[in-house]
Structures are given as C-alpha cells and as structure tokens.
Structure 1
C-alpha cells in the first residue's frame, strides 16, 4: 500500500513526534508498504514564535497539492495541525478524499500554560481541524477520553514503542558526578515543568539533557545542576544507563517516549500520577508515581534495573505501527472507504489513481492555527 504522511514536525527537531513518525515509517516499510513524507524540509519556512527550532512552512498549499497528486496515495495521514497539515486537509476535503489525523500532544494545555489562552478556544480549533477525519489517532486511553469530552469524535488508540536494541541495560558511566544521579531528558520548556525537578532537595546530583526556550533561565537559577544538549540516540542510551532514577516532572505530556527509553535502559521512573506516566507505568513496579515528587525520586532508588527493563519490553514499534496501519482509511476496491486491512498491498511500481470518497465532507467551522508538536 502507498501511504502518504504529512507532518509539520520533522528534522532537525528532536522530539517524540518526530521519533514516532520516523519509527513508524521504518516499520511500515519493513512490512512491505511504500511510505512518503511531506515535511517542512521541502518548503521555505519561518521560525515558530517562542519555539524557533520549529519551522513553519510558508504558503505550502500548491506544493502540497502537487505532491499528493504525484504520489497518488492509497491512504493519507495528516500528523499535525500546522501549515502543512492545514494544506493537506484542504486538498482532501475539496476532493472528497478520506484521511486520518493524529493528536500527539496536549496543545491546548501548552497554549494555556504559555499564553493564558482558555482551553475551550483551542479545543474549538481542534474540533474544526479533526472533525472531518475518518479517524483521529491518540496515544493513550486518557487522551482519547479528553478528546471525546471536548467533542472530538472518531478517536482511536495509537500507542507508542521503543527501540529495545538501542535503549538497553549496559555497564557504562558517562556522568561523572555524585550518586545517586537523577536525570531529566526532554524539551526544556515551561510546560515540561522542569523547574519542579531542579527545585527538589535531593542527594547526589541532577542532570538535564535537552534544549528549549527555558534552558537559559533554568541554568542561571540552578547552577548546581548539570546540563547536556541534544544527544544522538546511542549517546542518550549511555546517559540513561549511567543514571539512577529518571525524573519526569511534566503534568501535561500525552505519553512521554522518554519514559520508555529510560525504562528500556533499566532506569526506574519517578513521576507525578498524571496522564503519561499513568499510561506508561500502569500498576507496574518499574516506577513510582506520587504527588510529592521528591518522595517518588527517593522511593524509585529502591527499584531494581531488571524490573524497569522488563516493563519496557512490553512495548515495540512493530506493534504500534501495526495499530497505526489498521486505523488508516484507504479506498477499497469498490470505491468505498475501508480499513487498511481491506486493501491489498500493491507493488511499489504499480500506478495508482488518485483516491476519492463517495460523499463530500463539510468543514464544521472556520479558522486556522498551528500546533507546535512537542514530545
């Protein structure tokens, strides 16, 4: 099957959305499917306000339409709510073409945290954007419930995975500071609540790995912590393996791929009992969730590394990608919209006509916006 994925989140960004899409493409291709991506690398861009590493594509509609026509996909997936996602959505609706979307991150909560914009306003945009989609993929049951509570229907579960060959238990020590070593990995931004970690009175030492708009101010306020920038996956795996507890202070993440990476590296987790940690950890003894984050950190020191690794082994990118594939809405042979499992895999060399659905989909609202896809 020929699958086209449209995303505003792509390299050189380093976040969970980008890792999810790259891993999904790899697994789909390994299954024999042909996957193409429309990303900001093909367009003139400007930096997103307050997040300059995110590039917003300028006037992409004509190019996006041409790319869709040229590739003639069997299934179209719109991964983000930014300019490219908007352009692909517009094209699909005008041509009555079925498509799916994804909701990766708690965008309304981030916007509220940064700018004070009411949640209801942003969820209204999300209802408009995702409303015509045949299916809206979300990473956890809690997020599915949130979307449905705000009136976004056709929601389905698309979980996440971890590369168990890269992130593994290993005997290394690349963090040469006092133990116990408490580690945070991720974007350094206000919505990630990193300061809640840095402000804790903990023994040993603290490390922060990542970049973001809050990094400069946090380094100035907490000079006793240690800071690393963005790392490659092999480098990051060695950092995980060198720490004693992974601290996840975010209260807004929808899943948190870094949780799985840490666990796969044998690193127990300390977190608040909120969405993300709850969905990854469940009732597993691989981590501690507590409203007192310091207490969670200290209790997590007692967890054996083999326990953390064993829990991570329940997750794989192949299983997550098969779930994604099952939710796609291509056209079946009679021209009706079906599930991906109902469409035979076609050879990559075969020409495909542009797909259309039998009924028009009407836009339910007017508006535009951009969702900075974050981990």
Structure 2
C-alpha cells in the first residue's frame, strides 16, 4: 500500500509534530508500507511571520498537484492545516479523492496568545478545513471530546509513543546545580507558557532545554535559570535523566510528547489538569496535576522514578503506527480510503 503524508511541519524543525510523523513513517516502512512525505523541503519557502525558523511553502498548489497526480497513492493523509495542507485538500476535493487529516496543534489558542482573534472564528475555519476528511485523527480522548464540542465530525484517537531505545535513564549528566532540579523541555515560545514555570518559587534549580523565538528574552529575564539550548537524542535523554521533576506548564498542547519522553527518563511530571497531561499522567503515580503548579511540582518530588519508566515503556511507536495504518482504510476493511466516491459539493 502506498501512503502519502502531506505536512507543513518537517525537518529541520524540532517539535512533537515532526517527531510523531517521522516515527510513524519509519515504523510504517518497517511494516511494509510505501510512504512518501510531501514537505516544505520539496518547495520554495518563506519564513513564517513571528516564527522565522519555520518555513512555509510558497504557492505550492501546482507542483503539489503534479506530485499527487503522478504518485497515484492508495491513501492521502493531510497532517497540517498550512499552505501544503490546504493545497492537498484542494486537490483531493477537485479530484474526488477521499483523505484523512490530523489535528496536532491547538492553533486557535496559540493564535489568541499573539493576536486578539476570537476562538470561535479560528475553530470555525478549522472545522471547515477538516469537515470533508474521512477521519480527523487526534492524540487523546479529551482532544477528541474538545473538537466534538466545537462541532467537528468523524474524530478518532491516534495516540503517541516514545522511543525507549533513546529515552531511558541509563545515563544522566551531573548538573553542577543545587538540587532538586526541575526541568522543562520543548519549544521556547509564548504558547508553551514557560514563564508559569520560571516564576515558581521552588527549592533547588530550574533548567530549560530547547530553542525557540523567546529564548533570548527569557535568558535575560531569568538569569538564575539554566537554559541549555536544543539537545538531541541520547544527549537530550542524559539531560532529562539528570533532573528530578519535569514541569509542563503548557495549557494548549493536544498531547505533550515531551511528557512521555521525560517519563521514560525517570522524571515524574508536574502539570496543569488540561488536555494532554490529564490523558497521560497517572496522578500520584507518574505525576501530579494541579491548578497550583508549584504544589504539583513539590508533590512530584515524592514519586518513584521507576513507575514513570514502566508507564512510558507501555507506549510504543509501533502500536501507534499500527493504529494510524488502520485508519487509512474504510471502516477497518481491506479497501483503501482513496476511491472515486463522490463528495458533497458543500464539502469544499
């Protein structure tokens, strides 16, 4: 079976969407599928406004349409709602090709943090984008319920995994810092709510691992915090394993892949009880969820690292990829979703 995955988020970006799609592709290939990625690397790009490290495809429709026409894939999955996603959606509708989509990021909430745009407007646009999809895949049950609340249809759960060959507690760096060490990892940007972590009155030290548009500003504002910059693979795992608690202050993530990665390295999690953390964290066992994030972080110090490691190991990318592959078929039957079924003229 030949699968085409269209995504505006791809390497060299480092984020949960890219890791999810990359791991899914790798496991699908191992399972015998032919997987073709259509990404910004195939097109001329421009920097994303307010986030120049993200490159957006410039006027991609004609080239993308030719690629899809020539590939003649058995299934098309549109992973993002950016320029490539919109172009792929347009081509599928024009050619009466069914497709699936996924909802990785709470863009309405992200957008509202930067611009005074009502959530209802953004969700209306996203609802229209995803409506003609045979299925819209989300990472958690609570995100599924959230989209259904906003009027989305045919929403299915496609979970996330962790690479326990990389993320493990075998090797930990020795921080030359007062303990306990509270760690945050991810994109250093306003939508991640990192300042809620940095402002906590906690004993010991704080460490932020990652890069992003707000890194330089936060370094100046919080000189006592160790900002390591981006780390990768085994080095990243070592930095995580050297800490005591992982603090996840985001209120807008649909999952929080970094939570599983931190758990795999033996870190209990402190987070708000919101979509993402509440779907992953077992309160009192692998982490603490509380609207008082400081109390959650302090309580997490009392949890056992091994409980976190055991839980993380139960969430494999292999299982997630098998679920993804099953959604590329109509109702689980061995007939690919790509067919010449007529779509309602109202769908576009």
TM class by smaller structure = over 0.9
Deviation at 1:360, TM superposition (A): 2.7
Name the CA distance, whole Å, in 2 between partners of 1:257 and 1:148.
22
Deviations 1:89-142 (A, max 9, x none): 111000100100000011111111111210011011111110100000011111
2:32 is matched with 32
Calculate the TM-score normalised by the size of structure 1. 0.90
1:220 is matched with 220
Name the CA distance, whole Å, in 1 between partners of 2:221 and 2:195.
9
Name the CA distance, whole Å, in 2 between partners of 1:284 and 1:128.
40
User: Within 5 A, what are the aligned runs for 1:56-71?
Assistant: 56-71=56-71
Q: Which moved more, 1:172-181 or 1:269-278?
A: 172-181
Deviations 1:143-181 (A, max 9, x none): 111111111101001100000111112242243212111
> Are 1:342 and 2:334 an aligned pair?
yes
CA contact (8 A) 2:180 2:244 kept: yes
CA contact (8 A) 1:188 1:210 kept: yes
2:327 is matched with 327
Deviations 1:309-344 (A, max 9, x none): 011122110111111111114xxxxxxxx2465148
Residues 340 and 176 (structure 1 numbering): CA distance in 2 closer, same or farther, change over 3 Å? farther
Q: How many residues of Structure 1 are paired with residues of Structure 2 in the alignment?
A: 348
In the alignment, structure 2 segments of 5+ residues that lack a partner are none
Calculate the TM-score normalised by the size of structure 2. 0.97
Name the CA distance, whole Å, in 2 between partners of 1:284 and 1:254.
22
CA contact (8 A) 2:172 2:240 kept: no
Deviation at 1:284, TM superposition (A): 5.9
In the alignment, structure 1 segments of 5+ residues that lack a partner are 330-337, 345-353, 366-375
1:280 is matched with 280
Name the CA distance, whole Å, in 2 between partners of 1:127 and 1:274.
22
Deviations 1:350-375 (A, max 9, x none): xxxx954221343546xxxxxxxxxx
1:200 is matched with 200
Out of 338, 341, 345, the position equivalent to 1:358 is 341
User: SS where residue 239 of structure 2 aligns?
Assistant: helix
User: Within 5 A, what are the aligned runs for 1:22-101?
Assistant: 22-101=22-101
RMSD over equivalenced CA pairs, Å? 1.5
Q: Which runs of 4+ in 1 moved over 4 A?
A: none
CA contact (8 A) 2:285 2:304 kept: no
